[in-house]
Amino acid sequence: MLELIGHTFMQRALLAGTLVGILCAVVGVYVVLNGLSFMGAGIGHASFGGVALGFLLGINPLLTAVVFCLGTAWGVGLVTRKTSLREDTAIGIFFACTMALGILFLGLMPGYGVDLFGYLFGSILAVTRQDLWLALLLTPAVLAVVALFYKELLFVSFDPEMARVAGLPVDRLHSLLLVLVALTVVGAIKIVGIVLVSALIVAPAAAARQLTEDFHRMMWLAPSIGAASTLAGLLLSCWLDTASGATIVLVATAFFAVAAALRRGILPTG
């Protein structure tokens, strides 16, 4: 194992995994508190259409995935505000539409020979220098926005009606949160894949929620669990020779299970 860590590709994977684990968990806290877990799954699957379009056009799939994820986030927010539809209904519509577009784009490719396995289920060991730079730029940028609107997002998460009465732009803050989710999804695609990305966003935050009711502690616990999940999952997948993305998500789920057991008193706390 120590010899494996000495390789450049493994160091790159560990760094990218740590960054994405922290990013997903921080944004995931707001996702869990606002009941947006289905939104994370919807935006994650929307990226499939963007990735397929990127392959069809011969450009970087992550660039077109950004467009699709942001478009889905803004589209869901617009439809929810301008119509009588509930948010989960709007997510379901965009979810199906973007997945259908992805299948359509794949069908238009000559020979249909594109390997989407890495994007669907993650391929952290195949993270490139460009992917690492994306994580290095995206993680601080998203965390900076979270820090800038920390109090406002906190207020809206716990009491949106009171926040509206207090004069906060609740709808705009909600749209901002959806954009942060979309960017987080794009950053995590190569780590755990389109299918599993929502789990990495939700599980560490949900585990932190089981361990504390204090929001500030939750914001420290969640990224710690997220980073530990990606690191432990990556090393465990190398040891067991299993799929890295799936192993990372299973480790994160195990953290949640232990936290839930501690919360219910099933496991001793000391």
Would residue 267 count as lying in a domain?
no
Task: Say which residues have a Cβ less than 8 Å from residue 200's Cβ, sequence separation at least 6.
Answer: 20, 21, 24, 28, 188, 191, 192, 226, 229, 230, 248, 249, 252
3-state secondary structure 99-147: HHHHHHHHHHCHHHCCCCHHHHHCCHHHCCHHHHHHHHHHHHHHHHHHH
Would residue 212 count as lying in a domain?
yes
**Any idea what the CATH number is for the domain that residue 116 is in?**
1.10.3470.10
- 239 contacts 220 by C-beta, under 8 angstroms: no
Per-residue pLDDT, 269: 53
Would residue 270 count as lying in a domain?
no
Would residue 16 count as lying in a domain?
yes
Per-residue pLDDT, 106: 83
Per-residue pLDDT, 256: 95
Q: What is the pLDDT of residues 206-234, one digit of tens each?
A: 999 999 989 999 999 999 999 999 999 99
Would residue 254 count as lying in a domain?
yes
Residue 270 DSSP SS3 = coil
Rounded percentage of the chain residues whose pLDDT exceeds 90: 31
Domain range enclosing 92: 2-261
Would residue 268 count as lying in a domain?
no
pTM of the complete model? 0.88
Please compute the mean of the pLDDT values over residues 121-134 and round it to a whole number.
82
Mutual angle of helices 170-192 and 150-158, in 10-degree steps:
100
- 91 contacts 85 by C-beta, under 8 angstroms: no
Would residue 76 count as lying in a domain?
yes
Per-residue pLDDT, 267: 59
Number of domains in the chain: 1
Q: What is the pLDDT of residues 35-62, one digit of tens each?
A: 888 888 888 888 888 988 988 888 888 8
Spatial distance between the Cα atoms of 229 and 251, rounded to a whole number of angstroms: 6
Per-residue pLDDT, 230: 92
Would residue 269 count as lying in a domain?
no
Q: What is the average pLDDT score of the chain?
A: 86
